[in-house]
Amino acid sequence: MSSRTAELDFGMGFPGRGRSGRAKTCRANINGAQSHPRYEVATMAERFFDFWRVDVFTDTPLTGNPLAVFPRAAGLSAVEMAAIAREMNLSETTFVFPATSPSANYRNRIFTPGGEIPFAGHPSIGTAYVAAMEGLVPHPDGSSVVYQELEIGVLPLELICEGGQVKKVVMTQGEPVLGTRMKSVEPLAKALQVPIRDIGVKGLSPQVAATGIASLQVPCRSLDVVKKMNPDGRALQKVLSKFGEKIVCYAFALEAETPGAHVHARGFVPELGIEDPATGSAAGACGAYLAAYGKLPAPTFVIEQGIEIHHASRIEVSVETEDGKPKVVRVGGQSVPIIRGNLRLP
User: Which residues are identified as catalytic?
Assistant: 92
Q: Provide the residue type at 319 as one letter.
A: V
The string of DSSP letters for 262-307 reads: -EEEEEEETTTTEEES--HHHHHHHHHHHHHTT--SSSEEEEEE-G
Show the CA angle centred on residue 333, arms to residues 332 and 334, nearest 5°: 150
Angle at 172 (CA atoms; ends 171, 173), nearest 5 degrees: 105
Please give the torsion angle defined by the CA atoms of residues 317, 323, 325 and 326, in that order, rounded to the nearest 10 degrees.
-30
CA atoms within 13 A on the CB side of 255: 10
**Distance (Å, whole) CA 190 – CA 271:** 17
Question: E strands, the chain, where?
Answer: 47-56, 65-70, 93-97, 106-112, 115-117, 142-150, 153-162, 165-172, 177-181, 207-210, 214-219, 248-253, 263-269, 274-276, 300-305, 313-322, 325-333, 335-345
What secondary structure does DSSP assign to 226-249, as a single string?
HHT----HHHHHHHHTTT-TT-EE
Positive/negative CA dihedral, 220, 221, 223, 225 = negative
In angstroms, the CA 284 to CA 228 distance is 24
Please provide residue 120's backbone torsions phi and psi, each rounded to the nearest 5 degrees. -160, 150
